[in-house]
Each structure stands twice: as C-alpha cells, then as structure tokens.
C-alpha cells in the first residue's frame, strides 16, 4: 500500500479535513474493502493494540461496526456499557477514560450525548502526552465524522464503482432533508460533501432548519487552498429535490428536541417524508441514503426504504466497516504506514 499523507492524531471533526484527507480515507477504505472480500478477512495491522469502544449513548451500527473493524485489524477490543460500569458509582467520564489508558488503550472510540466530550478526552490525553488517538463516534448534535466518511465511500462507489474517488462528486446535487438542526450526521456531511465539490441543498421545517443555518458553514477553516462551499437551504422541499442525484433523509431526533417542534409526525411525513412520488422531480438515477435507525413511514416510506433500486441504506452499513478499518489504520499506524495490507 502506498505511503499516505495523514497527519491527524484524532478524528474529532471534519471541519479541518482537506480534499486530500478525504481521498486518503476513501482509497484506504477501498483497499480494506478488498480485504473484506477475501476468504480470510483479517489482517495483522493492529495486532497487540488495544482499541476501546466507549459508548456513553445507545448505538447499534456504529458500535458494532467499529468493533468488527478493530477485530478485522487484529486489535484487542474492549467494549464499555455505561449502565453496568463504575459511572453508576459516580466515576467521571475522564476517570473512566484514564482507566482504559492505564490498561494500555491505543485508540479510544467515543460517543456521548454531550457535544465536546471526545474533544475533552483527547485534550487530556494530549496533555498527558500519551499519543493515544481519539475517534469521535458522535457527540451530541455536533459531529459524527465516521458516518459522513462512510456516506462518502457509499456515494463515490455508486458514482464510480471501479475506482471510487472524490472527484466524481464534483457538481453532484445532494439534498439533505429533515431534522437538520439536531443532526450530527448532517453537520459532518456538510463539511465532507462541500469540500469534495458537491452542491448540498438542505430542506426541513423551519423549527428543524433555522433560517441562516448554513452561514456558519460558508467560511472554510482550511487554507490553502480555500474551498468554496456550494451550500443552500430551502424552505420548500421541492427546490431541494429538483434534479437531485442523491437524497439523504434524517431521523426525527426526538431525544434531542427540548420541546415539541412539530404539529404531528403524520403532518411531518406529509410535508417532508421522502417517497417514490416525491423522487419524481429528482434525477432519474436518484438514490436515497439514511444513516439509520429509521422511523419507517416518517422520514421515509417503508416501500422506498426497501427498494433496492433506490435505497443505499444497506450499502451504507457495509461501507461502515471498511471505512472504520481505514480510520483505525490511519490513526493506529500514524507515521509508519507501510507494512499493512500485505500480511496475507
């Protein structure tokens, strides 16, 4: 495998990622996807390394997918369940992280309902000069980098199955629909998709997509080269869907709604639910994504979710393992990227 340019100890946010970073993740994930199609799906890359899955919030896909990715790379994986942990006895999150550090953790994967927890743990690990890498697996409504990266791999694969690469996204129209204000998936995707040259169009009810939401994403923190982000928000769903190449639907994140922000779920489906009928104004080859879990019949119709011609939901989950293998590899072998995939 070729040497890669990669200089992130942690992956906490995609706001600072360059197009080169995305290309590195995609090409590394594609190599791991090849590994996953072999009879022997394991490589010795992270043998002897300890990966901890610190999920302080429920998860099915992300936790299992990180666990499988770490196991495919031959790491030792420690899973943590808050309900049966010493958190119930009053231990702090930072002390929990330090406990795993003392056991020799090399990489910590962290999900928490509060924004900034992975950043706080990473800062403490850096202060202690541990060299341990932190992967943000979702912090509050802030970011979910690995989800956006697996979405990127899924999109690039649809656009160019033989050679998935970020160039194929240039000028593609991607509509993101629904509960955007509460969505860490949407925020991470905004950074990645716009950095790769896609045109992103947001639509949702005004309570879930505040006016001027996109303003904070217009200025790129990356320089040079400056990225001119193609990002628009709409009050009408029709404007967002017209000619779209991809539609990303989002779950109504009721656990993050402080008050009732919608008249009714039925009304929401009527106005913003994605159905076959609604896709008629999109590009004829349009595909639909959803990070899941899905509320069937709310943000997307059951028929559309189950339509293999249109729905990429299963592919997203599959892409997750290879993408997370790529992230664990890039973080876990920083500075010595060579001897990885050739183990067998």
Q: Which residue ranges make up the site for ligand NCD (CB under 6 A)? A: 61-62, 138, 144, 147, 184-185, 251, 253, 291-292
Cβ-in-10-Å burial (0-12, 13-18, 19+) of 313 comes to: buried
In the complex, minimum distance from the CB of residue 119 to ligand NCD, in angstroms, rounded to a whole number: 17
CB of 36 to ligand NCD, least distance (A): 19
The CB-of-187 to ligand NCD minimum distance in angstroms stands at 10
CB of 178: closest distance to ligand NCD in angstroms?
9
Six-digit token string for 96: 């929990």
Choice between 61 and 71, CB closer to ligand NCD:
61
Q: Among residues 142, 40, 70, 145, which one has the least CA distance to residue 321? A: 70
Q: Is residue 274 exposed (0-12), middle (13-18) or buried (19+ Cβ within 10 Å)?
A: buried
Min. distance of Cβ 256 from ligand NCD in angstroms?
A: 9
Residue whose CB is less far from ligand NCD, 55 or 100 = 55
Which pairing describes strands 76-80 and 50-55: parallel, antiparallel, or unpaired?
Answer: parallel
Q: Which residue is nearest to ligand NCD (CB)?
A: 251
Give min distance, CB of 289 to ligand NCD, in A.
Answer: 11
Nearest-angstrom CA–CA distance, 229 and 198: 8
Residue among 50 and 203 whose Cβ is closer to ligand NCD: 203
Contact 234, 266 (CB under 8 A): no
Is the Cβ of residue 239 or residue 257 nearer to ligand NCD in the bound state?
Answer: 257
Which of 146, 214, 163, 207 minimizes the C-alpha distance to 182?
A: 207
Do the Cβ atoms of 107 and 135 come closer than 8 Å? yes
Report the residue number, 283 or 318, with the smaller CB distance to ligand NCD: 318
Residues 6+ apart with CB under 8 A from 203: 175, 176, 177, 209, 233, 234, 235, 236, 237, 239, 240, 241, 272
185 vs 304 by CB, closer to ligand NCD: 185
Nearest approach in angstroms of CB 111 to ligand NCD is: 8
Residue closer to ligand NCD, measured from CB, 6 or 213:
213
CA distances 9 to 98, 107, 136, 166, Å, are 18, 10, 12, 23
* Between 144 and 287, CB nearer to ligand NCD: 144
CB of 63 to ligand NCD, least distance (A): 9
Q: Is the dihedral of CA 176, 159, 307, 255 positive or negative?
A: negative
Alpha-carbon distance of 132 to 101, in angstroms, equals 8
């Amino acid at each position: 495998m070729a040497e890669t340019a990669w200089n992130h100890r942690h992956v906490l946010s995609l706001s600072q990622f360059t197009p080169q970073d995305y290309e590195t993740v995609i090409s590394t994930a594609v190599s791991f996807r090849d590994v996953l199609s072999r009879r022997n799906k394991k490589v010795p890359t992270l043998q002897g390394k300890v990966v901890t899955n610190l999920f302080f919030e429920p998860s099915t896909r992300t936790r299992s997918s990180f666990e499988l990715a770490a196991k495919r790379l031959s790491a030792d994986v420690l899973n943590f369940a808050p309900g049966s942990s010493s958190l119930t006895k009053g231990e702090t999150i930072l002390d929990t992280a330090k406990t795993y550090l003392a056991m020799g953790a090399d990489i910590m994967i962290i999900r928490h309902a509060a924004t900034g927890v992975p950043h706080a743990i990473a800062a403490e690990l850096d202060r202690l000069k541990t060299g341990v890498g932190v992967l943000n697996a979702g912090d509050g409504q802030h970011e979910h980098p690995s989800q956006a990266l697996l979405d990127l791999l899924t999109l690039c694969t649809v656009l160019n199955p033989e050679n998935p690469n970020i160039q194929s996204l240039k000028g593609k129209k991607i509509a993101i629909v629904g509960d955007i204000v509460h969505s860490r998936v949407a925020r991470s995707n905004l950074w990645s998709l716009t950095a790769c040259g896609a045109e992103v169009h947001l639509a949702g009810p005004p309570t879930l997509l505040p006016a001027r939401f996109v303003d904070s994403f217009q200025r790129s923190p990356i320089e040079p080269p400056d990225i001119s982000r193609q990002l628009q928000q709409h009050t009408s769903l029709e404007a967002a869907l017209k000619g779209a190449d991809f539609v990303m639907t989002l779950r109504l994140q009721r656990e993050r709604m402080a008050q009732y922000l919608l008249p009714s779920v039925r009304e929401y489906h009527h106005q913003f639910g994605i159905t076959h009928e609604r896709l008629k104004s999109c590009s004829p080859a349009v595909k639909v994504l959803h990070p899941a879990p899905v509320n069937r019949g709310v943000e997307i119709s059951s028929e559309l979710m189950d339509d293999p011609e249109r729905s990429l939901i299963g592919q997203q989950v599959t892409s997750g393992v290879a993408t997370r293998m790529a992230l664990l590899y890039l973080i876990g072998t920083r500075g010595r990227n060579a001897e990885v995939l050739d183990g067998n």
